[in-house]
Amino acid sequence: MTTTHCPYCALQCAMHLEPGPGGALAARPADFPTNRGGLCRKGWTSAEMLGVVDRLRRPLLRKDREDDFAEVDWDTALDYVADRLTDLRAAHGPEAVSVFGSGGLTNEKSYLLGKFARLALGTSQIDYNGRFCMSSAAAASTRAFGLDRGMPFPLTDLGEAEVVLLAGANPAETMPPMMAHLAAPRLIVVDPRCSATARQALAGGGMHLAPRPGTDLALALGLLHTARTANLLDTGYIAQRTTGFAQAWRAAAAWWPEQTEHVTGVPAHQVRAAAHMLGKAKGAYVLTGRGTEQHAKGTDSVSAWINLALGLGLPGRVGSGYGCITGQGNGQGGREHGQKADQLPGYRRIDDPAAREHIARVWGVEADTLPGPGRSAFELLDALGTEGGPSAMLLFGSNPVVSAPDAGRVRDRLADLDLLVVADFVLSESAAMADVVFPVAQWAEEGGTMTNLEGRVLRRRAAAAPPAGVRTDLEVLHGLATRLGQPAQRFPTDPDAVLAELRAASAGAPADYSGITPERLEAGEELHWPVTEGQAPTPRLFLDGFAHPDGRARFIPVQYRPAAETPDADYPLIATTGRLMGHYQSGAQTRRIPELAQAEPEAYLEIHPDTAARNGLTEGDWAQLTSRRGTTTARVRLRPDARRDTVFLPFHYAGAQTANNLTNPVLDPTSRMPEFKVSAIRVEPATTAQQGGHL
């Protein structure tokens, strides 16, 4: 029996893996503070992915995109990719090649991928899918607190609180075992939909506030306004532990409850009741999820929530706080170790001369050879194959054909590349567009570390050897780097050797892992970063002061503005997107697991019965949705509790059911997060040819 953690989300539930009756590995829950012996349906079925029928076991290569793939041996595939990369670099310079990474990769892979881009390819053109995930919350936390660790406290603290406000998070579907920690507190759920989490809030004596998508910023300003006028603010805390309240207040001063109602649609009496519930609670937390973050003003929206938390005196104390619910398995660690366009390992900035010196020393190169900052994820995808943009991309751990905004445009850009190389376990929709596909090992076949949503570093353990013909991501990077002329020892294939280097690279940095050793991990120590050598870890940050030089948290004055698109005569409805319990992300993994695929076989559309009727639709019909970018199809589910102006779609489906055909790639100016949560659309019955069909 091997004890490890789930391959999917950032809760990183602990599980035991053991061969079942047929000899294949099966997962069952292990007791752990975050999951308390629970697993969701995806965790229970996760081991099936190891033996999925269309698992890739040999590298695939085609020299012409018109041709089918041929199975080739590893040397042929690696030589081919290295030669093509060398030629493209010689012809167009190092910026012609690009890398796209993932918050699903281990810390070791994230670190080595960034090093590979900067040293072996010498390119600045690397970013990753975390830009589409929690980047707005990360930016807002950094400017408020001086440091971003999604939850700067252990998850188990939540259970002690009286009230927890969840802004745009639906953990009842996205992290079901987390709900055990939210059973005692009363919940205030802010979600345009009456989600499973909102229903739980109502059942437990809490509240559901249903703002129009894209108006959270106004709602948070309205709650701050109400808290102040009701004398609920912690003025002593504001004076001693923060700066900037006066300016932030000026931005909130106009948001009395009736004005808030006018913009958000949340009744004024609910705004007042929620402010009182939160402000009077003995222990309270404000948590944000993607619903409030994935907007072109996501960073400012999160700042507005943090301002509310600061006004109430919550952050940096035991028993209360602000946190972002990070999503991907290694969404926290993946944002720290150098696969971001603007970053070097340890959360160092790539434009900081001291950071460059430190990393260059660890890597054994001169600092001036390190490239500068590159393009953010969507900007990178959108530049592919264009004049001045990269003509090659190496893709590790993401499926942007399904998950990127304005997916039709992204498909066109990928198609225009001279060289697309994908490492995956299966032929994902993005891998299917590639020139070369490397078949890689899965989570239960390799070691490494993951950092969960509370900043705790965990050990991923191998329970089986990879199938014959399959290599690890670290081996792929090693194979390419050495062919590109790098010394072999610079790209180790042993995860512990990479961790040793990552420890040195992160020493003294904001995300300091220098004290995180395999021995301490094996001993089960609770290693919340920063962890320096010989020092105790840091489960709760900011108790003695925030990470700004003056030790104070900063209120950020933020102004409300509408979403980039608002409904009009041609596109009269708002579409928002998100998740359902049984599928994960682009669905490349979960759509292949029979039990999950049968339970949720096709995209659906949650719509109010009146809105459906006005558009000629009823329960079970196939609907066609159209935005300024494209169209998608989904089966109608009538929801009498839905807002009449808003429909909801899960984004886990491919082909003609790709919700991202609709989405707006307008970007947040700070985080470069696209506006996944608001697109103006129209809806109509699908023609027979469109019904659930594939493009």
Strand partners of residue 343 = 349
Stretch that binds ligand SF4, among 9-17, 61-69, 481-489, 532-540 (CB under 6 A): 9-17
Instruction: Decide if residue 9 touches ligand MGD (CB under 6 A).
Output: yes
Shortest approach of ligand SF4 to residue 42 CB, angstroms? 4
d(CA 603, CA 618): 16
Q: Which residue is nearest to ligand SF4 (CB)?
A: 43
Which 169-188 positions form the footprint of ligand SF4 (CB under 6 A)? Answer: 175-177
- Which tokens in the block code for residue 677? 């949560």
Cβ atoms of 629 and 658 within 8 Å: the answer is no
Shortest separation between residue 15's beta carbon and ligand SF4, angstroms: 7
Q: In whole angstroms, give the CA distance from residue 635 to residue 621.
A: 6
Where residue 620 falls (left for φ over 0; alpha for ψ -120 to 50; beta otherwise) is left
Q: Tell me the backbone φ, ψ of residue 610, rounded to 5 degrees.
A: -70, -40
Name beta bridge partners: 597.
Answer: none
Tell whether residue 141 is a contact of ligand SF4 (CB under 6 A). Answer: no
Assess 43 for contact with ligand SF4 (CB under 6 A): yes
Under the binding rule (CB under 6 A), the answer on residue 129 touching ligand MGD is: yes
Q: Which does 313 bind (CB under 5 to 8 A by kind): ligand SF4, Mo ion, ligand MGD, none?
A: none
674 touching Mo ion, by CB under 5 A: no
* HSE value, Cβ hemisphere, 13 Å, CA-based, for 152: 28
Q: Binding to Mo ion by residue 327, rule CB under 5 A?
A: yes
- Interacting residue with ligand MGD among 4, 398, 506, 627 (CB under 6 A): 398
Q: Which residues 112-171 are close enough to bind Mo ion by CB under 5 A?
A: 133
234 binding partner (options Mo ion, ligand MGD, ligand SF4, none; Cβ < 5 to 8 Å by kind):
none
The minimum distance between CB 237 and ligand MGD, in angstroms, equals: 26
**Polymer length in residues for the chain:** 695
For residue 428 the two structure tokens come to 């994902």
Pick what 322 binds: Mo ion, ligand MGD, ligand SF4, none; C-beta below 5 to 8 Å, kind-dependent: none
Residues contacting residue 90 through CB under 8 Å, at least 6 positions apart? none
Site string for ligand MGD, 424-463 (x = CB under 6 A): xxx-x-----------x-----------------------
Q: What angle do CA 319, 321, 323 make, to 5 degrees?
A: 130
- Binding part of the chain for Mo ion, among 72-80, 320-328, 490-498, 517-525 by CB under 5 A, reads 320-328
- Does the protein bind ligand MGD through residue 299 (CB under 6 A)? no
Is-contact 400 381, C-beta < 8 A? yes
DSSP state for residue 119 in the 8-state scheme: I
Site string for ligand MGD, 340-379 (x = CB under 6 A): ----------------------------------------
Sites for ligand SF4 among residues 350-389 (CB under 6 A): none
Whose CA is closest to 670, among 558, 575, 566?
558
Task: Pick the piece of the chain touching ligand MGD (CB under 6 A) from 302-310, 370-378, 543-551, 576-584.
Answer: 576-584
Q: How would DSSP label each residue in 535-553?
A: S---SS-SSS--SSTTS-E
Could you give the angle at the alpha carbon of 624 between the alpha carbons of 621 and 629, nearest 5°? Answer: 160
Burial class for 646, CB neighbours closer than 10 Å (0-12, 13-18, 19+)? buried
d(CA 521, CA 16): 17
DSSP code string of 57-77: -S-EE-SSTTSPPEE--HHHH
The stretch near ligand MGD (CB under 6 A) out of 68-76, 125-133, 519-527, 617-625 is 125-133
- Distance between alpha carbon 287 and the CA centroid of its chain, in Å? 15
Compute the least distance from the CB of residue 655 to ligand MGD, in Å. Answer: 15
List the one residue from 4, 17, 25, 40 that touches ligand SF4 (CB under 6 A): 40
The tokens for 610 are: 């009146």
What is the C-alpha separation between 424 and 13, in angstroms, rounded? 23
Residue 303 near residue 224, CB atoms below 8 Å: no
Query: Using CB distances below 5 to 8 A depending on partner kind, what does residue 374 bind out of ligand SF4, ligand MGD, Mo ion, none?
Result: none
Shortest reach from residue 594's CB to ligand SF4, in Å:
17
* Min CB(184)–ligand SF4 separation in Å: 19
Q: Which is nearer to ligand MGD, 182 or 659 (CB)?
A: 659
Q: Nearest to residue 131, comparing CAs of 589, 664, 663, 667? A: 667
Q: Which of 126, 169, 341, 392 binds ligand MGD (CB under 6 A)?
A: 169
Q: Which partner from the list ligand SF4, ligand MGD, Mo ion, none does 101 bind, CB cut-off 5 to 8 Å by kind?
A: none
- Assigned token pair, 143: 């400017």
- Cis status of the peptide bond prior to 373, with omega within 30 of 0: no
Please report whether residue 529 would count as binding ligand MGD according to CB under 6 A: no
State how beta strands 343-344 and 348-349 pair. Answer: antiparallel
Chain positions contacting Mo ion, by CB under 5 A: 133, 327-328
Chain positions contacting ligand SF4, by CB under 6 A: 6, 8-9, 11-13, 35, 39-40, 42-43, 175-177
Chain positions contacting ligand MGD, by CB under 6 A: 9, 102-105, 129, 132-133, 167-171, 173-175, 190-193, 195, 211, 213-214, 216, 289-292, 294, 327-328, 396-400, 403, 423-426, 428, 440, 473, 576-579, 581, 583-586, 588-589, 648, 651, 659-660, 663, 676-677
